[in-house]
């Protein structure tokens, strides 16, 4: 017995010693470090080949576009210094910034721009954002070392806006040659930080690019930690282990706003969160059933009680804060009407459906899905629930050919802030984010018309018509638009929370 106690004492002492020693080494590193606790792991560090904002956010630390949006949503130069559209709208010419080098030393020039865009426009590579640019760019021409010309398929006025999309990044042509598809794990751009390491499931580290062409980064490294648990993210923030946490759960916002060590930035975004419906499956091929589902879900209660008002009821297939947004007449919460519509459509009570949801990607997503499940059960569906880890979820949804998905919770925030990209990827036949497998001639025609219309009034009217049509055809359960909640340590300055749901770290700084 005494021997056991002595042994226990020695063990405890040893443990204490180890923890003290490891604590010392932990605080020993030099330079300023920002730790960013992010809820999900980026899928790939190649913005040409992903569709999710967490990937874009981390990518944007290392990469730049020709043009970009500032915080006020004004288009500003980045790797291009000026640009001009041809009078007939059939081409755009960009003058490039000189003296810029990629992280691997390759000089930035017109050829690099051409190589990057030829890559995304190459149908054989099947990159996730192929269709964004293939819709209107015909070809990219090198005029001279620092001038590049984009030829359009039809007169197209919104090219610069679309080049500001995260997928409009410029890769180092040498790195592309060297890594091929593996560029996604070995990113090389021109941005203020360069890639250091990616330990899967744990963290991604980027370090300061000391030869950056613009205002150099103020911190030496950023560690992006993957922390799926909302509570842990907030705890890390409060103990100082993390400097930025995203997102912060609705239930923690009020408490953190009173704290003197940390703050919460709450900003509107242009994101909608919706419950997608695979419209190719019975009974969802019937618009009546989809409308019934919209009447069945109490969106107001979800916004008030689960999101704690950090969102608004969704009133259009297009998110608010996007160009062309028109609010529609809400589907009021009316389970009786829902039941009646379901009966008219011949849906028997007890019809089994499955509902897929991510957990922690969007503000309170899992809780919202559970509330939707209960509302759908109340009108007679039997809803089986399945929770997914984010990257597996995306991979599974991307394998649409299997077609066995039914209802799925997802969000959409068009990174161009424009009605075209707010609607086209979700509703055009065969588009990348059209997980609903929606295909409707009226919608397709309106999308095409909106894209090629040059007159602004005509464009606005087209998108108004399109929104009204989609609202009534209801290829999704319209849920809500959501605000961004970012937890930030009070020691941190310069973090930009962008309306297009991006966090920018290029000006971030930290006091000791």
Partner 1 sequence: MVQNLVPSSLRRFAKNRKAVVGVAMVVLYVAVALLAPALTPYNPTKPDLNLALQAPTLGHPLGNDELGRDILARIIYGARISLMVGLVGTGIALVGGVILGSLSGYFGGWVDTVIMRAMDIMLAFPSFLLALAIVSILGAGLMNLMLAIGIFSIPSFSRVVRGSVLSVKNQDYVEAARAVGLSDLRILVAHILPNCMAPIIVLATMRVATAILTASGLSFLGLGAQPPTPEWGAMLSNGREYLRAAPHLATFPGLAIMFGVLGFNLFGDGLRDALDPRLKNR
> Which of 115, 108, 128, 15 is CA-nearest to residue 400?
128
Dump strand ranges (E) for 247-401: 262-267, 272-277, 311-313, 352-358, 382-388
- Distances from the Cα of 420 to the Cα of 356, 426, 463, angstroms: 27, 10, 8
385 binds partner 1 (CB under 8 A): yes
Nearer Cβ to partner 1 (323/362): 362
Q: Which stretch binds partner 1 (CB under 8 A): 186-194, 213-221, 223-231, 340-348?
A: 223-231
Q: Which of 41, 49, 52, 359 binds partner 1 (CB under 8 A)?
A: 359
Strand arrangement, sheet containing 272-277: 311-313, 476-482, 272-277, 407-412, 352-358, 382-388
Q: Which stretch binds partner 1 (CB under 8 A): 138-146, 299-307, 320-328, 409-417?
A: 299-307
Nearer Cβ to partner 1 (376/413): 376
Binding characters for partner 1, 114-153, by CB under 8 A (x = yes): ----------------------------------------
Q: Tell me the number of residues near partner 1 by CB under 8 A.
A: 26
> Which of 432, 358, 437, 436 is CA-nearest to residue 393?
358
399 binds partner 1 (CB under 8 A): no
Q: Which of 138, 288, 366, 491 binds partner 1 (CB under 8 A)?
A: 366
Q: Which stretch binds partner 1 (CB under 8 A): 66-74, 97-105, 114-122, 228-236?
A: 228-236
Residue pair 184/195 in contact by the 8 Å Cβ criterion? no
The structure tokens listed for 139 are 């070809």
- The one-character DSSP state at 413 is -
506 binds partner 1 (CB under 8 A): no
164 binds partner 1 (CB under 8 A): no
Shortest distance, CB of residue 311 to partner 1, whole angstroms? 14
314 binds partner 1 (CB under 8 A): no
Shortest distance, CB of residue 359 to partner 1, whole angstroms? 7
Query: ∠ at Cα 65 (64, 66), nearest 5°?
Result: 130
Nearer Cβ to partner 1 (158/308): 308
Task: Encode burial over 309-345: b for 16+ CB neighbours within 10 A, e otherwise.
Answer: ebbbbbbbbbbbbbbbbbebeebebbbebbbebbeee
> Is residue 464 within a helix (H) or strand (E), and if so which, with residue range?
helix 456-473
Q: Which of 153, 288, 386, 507 binds partner 1 (CB under 8 A)?
A: 386
257 binds partner 1 (CB under 8 A): no
Q: Are strands 484-489 and 244-246 parallel, antiparallel or unpaired?
A: antiparallel
Task: Catalog residues that contact partner 1 under the rule CB under 8 A.
Answer: 229-231, 234, 249, 251-252, 255, 298, 301-302, 304-306, 359, 366-367, 369-371, 373-374, 384-387
């Amino acid at each position: 017995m005494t021997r056991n106690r002595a042994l226990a004492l020695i063990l405890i002492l040893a443990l204490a010693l180890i923890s003290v020693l490891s604590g010392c080494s932990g605080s020993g590193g030099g330079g300023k470090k920002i730790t960013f606790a992010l809820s999900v792991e980026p899928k790939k560090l190649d913005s040409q080949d992903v569709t999710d904002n967490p990937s874009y956010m981390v990518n944007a630390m290392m990469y730049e576009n020709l043009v970009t949006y500032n915080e006020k949503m004004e288009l500003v130069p980045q790797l291009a210094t000026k640009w001009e559209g041809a009078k007939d709208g059939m081409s755009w010419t960009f003058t490039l910034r000189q003296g810029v080098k990629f992280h691997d030393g390759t000089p930035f020039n017109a050829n690099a721009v051409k190589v990057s865009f030829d890559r995304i426009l190459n149908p054989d590579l099947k990159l996730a954002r192929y269709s964004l640019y293939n819709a209107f760019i015909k070809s990219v021409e090198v005029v001279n070392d620092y001038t590049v010309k984009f030829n359009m398929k039809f007169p197209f006025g919104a090219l610069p806006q679309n080049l500001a999309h995260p997928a409009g990044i410029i890769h180092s042509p040498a790195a592309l040659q060297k890594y091929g598809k593996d560029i996604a794990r070995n990113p090389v751009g021109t941005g203020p930080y360069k890639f250091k390491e990616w330990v899967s499931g744990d963290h991604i580290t980027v370090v300061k690019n000391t030869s950056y062409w613009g205002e150099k980064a103020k911190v030496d490294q950023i560690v992006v930690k993957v922390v799926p648990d909302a509570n842990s993210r907030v705890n890390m923030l409060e103990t100082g282990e993390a400097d930025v946490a995203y997102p912060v759960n609705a239930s923690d916002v009020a408490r953190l706003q009173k704290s003197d060590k940390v703050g919460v930035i709450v900003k509107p975004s242009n994101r909608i969160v919706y419950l997608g419906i695979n419209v190719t499956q019975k009974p969802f091929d019937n618009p009546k059933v989809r409308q019934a589902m919209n009447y069945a879900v109490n969106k107001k209660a979800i916004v008030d009680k689960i999101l704690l008002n950090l969102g608004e009821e969704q009133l259009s297939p297009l998110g608010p804060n996007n160009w062309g947004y028109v609010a529609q007449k809400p589907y009021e919460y009316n389970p009786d009407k829902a039941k009646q519509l379901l009966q008219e459509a011949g849906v028997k009570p007890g019809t089994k459906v499955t509902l897929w949801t991510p957990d922690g990607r969007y503000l309170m997503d899992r809780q919202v899905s559970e509330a939707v499940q209960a509302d759908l059960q109340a009108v007679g569906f039997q809803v089986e629930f399945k929770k997914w880890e984010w990257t597996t979820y995306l991979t599974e949804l991307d394998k649409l050919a299997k077609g066995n998905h039914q209802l799925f919770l997802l969000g959409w925030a068009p990174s161009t802030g424009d009605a075209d990209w707010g609607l086209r990827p979700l509703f055009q036949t065969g588009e990348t984010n059209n997980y609903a497998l929606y295909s409707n001639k009226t919608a397709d025609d309106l999308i095409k018309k909106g894209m090629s219309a040059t007159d602004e009034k005509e464009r606005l009217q087209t998108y108004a018509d399109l929104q009204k049509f989609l609202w009534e055809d209801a290829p999704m359960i319209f849920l809500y638009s959501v605000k961004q909640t970012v937890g930030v340590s009070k020691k941190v300055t310069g973090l930009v929370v962008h309306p297009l749901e991006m966090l920018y770290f290029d000006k971030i700084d930290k006091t000791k």
